[in-house]
Homo-oligomer: A and B are copies of this chain.
Amino acid sequence: MIKAGIIGSTGYAGEELVRLLLGHKDAEIVWYGSRSYIDKKYADVYQNMFELVDAKCMDDNMQELAEKADVIFTATPQGLCASLVSEEILSKAKIIDLSADFRIKDVKTYEEWYKIEHKSPEFIPEAVYGLCEINREDVKKARLVANPGCYTTCSILTCYPLVKEGLINPDTIIVDAKSGTSGAGRGAKIDNLFCEVNENIKAYGVATHRHTPEIEEQLGYAAGREIRINFTPHLVPMNRGILVTAYASLVKDVSYEEVKAVYDAYYGKEKFVRVLEKDVCPQTKWVEGSNYVDVNFKIDPRTGRIIMMGALDNLVKGAAGQAVQNMNLMFGKKESEGLELVPMFP
């Protein structure tokens, strides 16, 4: 039984971790961390957990946690994990960090985009970028996993095969992403009130969103060189789901079958990436509550571009589900354990 501790268990991603781990037969939660709700019953913060979770919320005592837990999930704001990690902690427990602290290899890039000083750059080199489908073998051996961002998981998986195979010019990639509101977290902000989000759609963080360098770094590895892309997130009036519509110029004439074969080569054996049938567009609802990413593409011969599309549940494959998938890999469990959730519709 894997003993899991969660720092930041009362955010939406933290609570989703709780939901998933409660259904995981080889894991149990030993620490419900939450600075905001110390000593409050977890089920009073999330009433869906009534009679399912009896524990109270605890402070963020990393030392004590490392003694008690085999794995620590940090579902916290940027900067916190980096300020808590140490060789001692890592010698006792594995860490899966859901924040961005260890996702970007170049500390300067991190500090530039996140506007904070990195408190433990010495651990960046060993951190593994936990996009399981791409870095599976490294994840298995990792002590410290940087769990990818929600937008980035969707963006990278959607574009990866075509970048890797050199079918598109990576510098022409434009990622237009749409997200449900749970991605904005549970903070009490006017911008996230029901009446501000409902019946509304907007772009935000245009040309400045911090998932941009993360996508660029990972797709850059696939391309074999540095790349620059455009990434624009949008806020959609729904709770869950991210849809990515990505555009790129094809470097040569290709047929549907050729591109399909490339996607299948990369994802044919991947349980959690579903390459849809011809002309079926991914919809966020088709993956809600599950760990799936649905991807597909459409060639536009008129413009020489290809439109790549991907959909996932931002709290599952975009956060807590992928974290559990990483945990499974790190502890030698079946990769899909606790994640065999059928998407819920409607």
Report the Cα distance A90→B236, complex, angstroms: 44
Of A96-104, A148-156, A302-310, which stretch is located at the interface? A302-310
Given that A344-B289, A346-B240 are known contacts, is A203 also in contact with B245, CB under 8 Å in the complex? yes
Residues from chain B with a CB closer than 8 A to the CB of A298 are 206-207
Report the Cα distance A155→B199, complex, angstroms: 20
Of A64-72, A79-87, A131-139, A181-189, which stretch is located at the interface? A181-189
Residues from chain B with a CB closer than 8 A to the CB of A166 are none
- Set B190, B200, B240, B274: member contacting A51, Cβ < 8 A: B274
Tell me the minimal C-beta distance from A178 to chain B in angstroms. Answer: 5
Residues 94-132 of A, flagged 1 when their CB comes within 8 A of B and 0 if not, give: 000000000000000000000000000000000000000
Given that A181-B194, A243-B234, A300-B230 are known contacts, is A343 also in contact with B201, CB under 8 Å in the complex? no
Contact B195–A193 (Cβ < 8 Å): no
The count of chain A contact residues (Cβ–Cβ below 8 Å) is: 84
- Segment 230-276 of A: residues with Cβ below 8 Å from B: 230, 232, 234, 236-241, 243, 245, 247, 274, 276
- Set B232, B277, B311: member contacting A245, Cβ < 8 A: B232
Residues from chain B with a CB closer than 8 A to the CB of A180 are 199
Report the Cα distance A192→B207, complex, angstroms: 30
Contact A195–B186 (Cβ < 8 Å): yes
Report the Cα distance A282→B47, complex, angstroms: 9
Contact A309–B203 (Cβ < 8 Å): yes
Contact A303–B195 (Cβ < 8 Å): no
Given that A307-B232, A344-B19 are known contacts, is A174 also in contact with B247, CB under 8 Å in the complex? yes
Interface of A with B (CB < 8 Å)? 12, 15, 18-19, 22-23, 46-52, 171, 174, 176, 178, 180-182, 186, 188-190, 192-204, 206-207, 228-230, 232, 234, 236-241, 243, 245, 247, 274, 276-277, 280-290, 294, 298-300, 302-303, 305, 307, 309, 311, 340-346
A-B contact pairs, 14 of them (CB 8 A): A48-B286, A48-B290, A49-B342, A49-B343, A50-B276, A50-B286, A176-B247, A178-B178, A199-B199, A199-B241, A200-B284, A207-B302, A230-B300, A237-B237
